Amino acid sequence: MKILGIESSCDETAAAIVEDGFRVLSSVVNSQIDIHAQYGGVVPEIAARSHIEVINPVIREALTRAQCSWDDIDAIAVTYAPGLVGSLLVGTLAARTLAILRNKPLYAIHHVEAHVYANFITESNGSTLQLPSKQPEFPLLALIVSGGHTQLVLFHGHGDYELLGQTQDDAVGEAFDKVAKILGLPYPGGPSITAAAEHGDPEKYHLPKAKLDNPYNFSFSGLKTAVLRAVQHAVGKDFTFPSHELPRLVNDVQRADFAASFQRVAVETLVERTLRAYSDFAPRSVVIAGGVAANQELRRQLSARLPIAIEYAPMKFCTDNAVMIATLGFFHAQYGTPADPYALDVVPSLSMVNTAWNSAKVL
Ligand code: KG4
Ligand code: ZN
């Protein structure tokens, strides 16, 4: 069964074709990072306009690269939640139109849940990507870490999962992005902090770890503020000094040490909560998902400290893409119900645990 996946929830326009929920036939991602980098973050109006310009060519290219005609496609899967409303609308309207014109079932996919399904890809035609050797097994513990989300979710089966804990304020990716801005490192902050941290001392600055009542919850805004205060202090200024003027006062050694110290604490926090959930729920598999799952330090620490083997999706399937949308679309086609292509609406903010698909509780 071949599923065409379409993704446009933030600043990536993507289309992919995945067969049977594990084999990638094609994946096309048009990133707008260069456009938004000059503003230090995603500008919603620019993102929506850019999606409109490229969505049709991106979908066409996905079909061409997979050597598929429309007759070969069994269903269309599209991100309808969560994300930027203007961005979501472009992909959803394209998918609805194609589903009607080409007479294909349409599946409404939750973007954050789809990140988890990047771990179900075990084959990719014509690529040399290092992929997991097998699909994860249920019960499955997922650490979801992206620009907008930080959650620990326990999956009992497809469409049957519970939220164990989540961030009470900033997402971890957001913390990477904000700390990068304080240090004068380019957007997106994750990769640039990691690069700067390579030359830094992770023990140089002692930054706090949040203590919360629920052992699976997270909080990163205190850590971000602690970095801000420590940087102000390091350059001889007080807490009233504006953060946007800090980058020109921080030297390269300080920048590297702050990046490494922040990354260490952020990653340790993620790993400690995941280990706690692992020992409490004894899942058969653990996966990490979302843009921050590309972080090498997170992978290194988890592999070292988890008592079971963990496999990782390649970086290009961790950041936003349509492969994960098509993969989850396959499982919707097996166990779920198609959406109405005349009525499917976008939902800019919706927790994955509240989707209609999850209440299906199918094993
Ligand atoms: O999942 P994603 O591509 O977009 C959504 O938020 O849905 O995640 C983007 C986030 C950004 O905050 C970016 O800074 C972070 O993922 N990120 C990383 C790395 N690569 C991307 N964070 C830490 N280390 C990385 N290597
Ligand atoms: Zn994402």
pLDDT in tens, 204-240: 999 999 989 999 999 999 999 999 999 999 999 999 9
For residue 189, how far is its CA from the centre of ligand 1 (angstroms)?
Answer: 8
Residue 349: both structure tokens together: 């903010």
Six-digit token string for 289? 């998902």
Report the pLDDT value the prediction gives residue 360, as an integer from 0 to 100: 58
Query: pLDDT class for 362, splitting at 50, 70, 90?
Result: low
* Averaged pLDDT for residues 91-100: 98
Residue 284 has pLDDT above 60, yes or no: yes
pLDDT of 77: 98
User: How far apart (Å, rounded) are the C-alpha atoms in residues 135 and 354?
Assistant: 25
Of 88, 166, 193, 292, which is best to mutate to test ligand 1, by the most ligand atoms within 8 angstroms of its C-beta? 292
Give, using CA atoms, the residue closest to atom 18 of ligand 1: 190
Q: Which DSSP letter does residue 215 get?
A: T
Residue pair 318/143 in contact by the 8 Å Cβ criterion: no
- Which residue, judged by its Cα, is nearest atom 23 of ligand 1? 190
Tell me the pLDDT band of 345, cut-offs 50, 70 and 90.
very high
Please report, for residues 57, 155, 160, 168, 336, the alpha-carbon distance to residue 281 in angstroms, rounded to integers and kept in the order given.
Answer: 45, 11, 15, 22, 26
Residue type, 5: G
Handedness of CA 260, 261, 263, 268 (dihedral sign): positive
Res. 41: pLDDT tops 90: no
| Tokens representing residue 335 in the block | 């166990």
Q: Tell me which H or E stretch contains 88.
A: helix 85-101
For residue 94, is it left (φ>0), alpha (ψ between -120 and 50) or beta? alpha
Contacts of 85 (CB under 8 A, 6+ apart): 44, 346, 348
Can you say whether the dihedral through the CA atoms of 182, 184, 190, 194 is positive or negative? negative
Per-residue pLDDT, averaged over 169-187, amounts to 96
Give, as residue ranges, everything with CB less than 5 Å from ion ligand 2. 146, 320
pLDDT at 59: 98
Residue linked to tokens 């198609």: 338
Query: Residues with beta carbon inside 6 Å of ligand 1?
Result: 10, 146-148, 173, 176-177, 188-191, 194, 290-292, 294-295, 319-320
C-alpha of residue 8 to centroid of ligand 2, in Å? 10
> Which ligand does the CA of 292 lie closest to?
1
Residue 192 CA, ligand 1 centroid: distance in Å: 11
> What would the pLDDT profile of 111-135 be if each residue is shown by its tens digit?
999 999 999 999 998 888 999 999 9
Distance between CA atoms of residues 183 and 288, nearest Å: 27
Average pLDDT over residues 146-155: 94
Q: What percent of the chain has pLDDT over 90?
A: 90
- pLDDT band at residue 36 under the 50/70/90 scheme: confident
Give the residue whose CA is nearest to atom 26 of ligand 1: 295
User: What number is the average pLDDT over the span 327-342?
Assistant: 97
Query: For residue 172, how far is its CA from the centre of ligand 1 (angstroms)?
Result: 9
Q: Which ligand is nearest to the CA of 188?
A: 1
Decide if pLDDT at 37 tops 90: no
The pLDDT of 159-169, averaged and rounded, is 96
Report the separation in Å between the CA atom of 4 and the middle of ligand 2, taken as the mean of its atom positions: 18
Read off the pTM: 0.94
Atom of ligand 1 nearest to the CA of 319: 3
Confidence of residue 361 (pLDDT cuts 50, 70, 90): low
Q: Name the residue of 8, 9, 176, 177 whose CB sits within 8 Å of the most ligand 1 atoms, as the mutation to test its pocket.
A: 176
Strand order in the sheet with 140-145: 160-166, 150-157, 140-145, 285-289
Write down the pLDDT at residue 91: 98
How far away, in angstroms, is 193 Cα from ligand 2 center?
19
Can you tell me which atom of ligand 1 is nearest the CA of 263? 23
Residue with the smallest CA separation from ligand 1 atom 22 is 190
- Joined together, the tokens standing for residue 8 give 């446009």
Compute the distance from residue 340 Cα to the ligand 2 centre, in Å: 24
254 CA distance to ligand 1 middle (Å): 23
Q: Residue 34: what pLDDT?
A: 77
Q: Whose CA is nearest to atom 6 of ligand 1?
A: 147
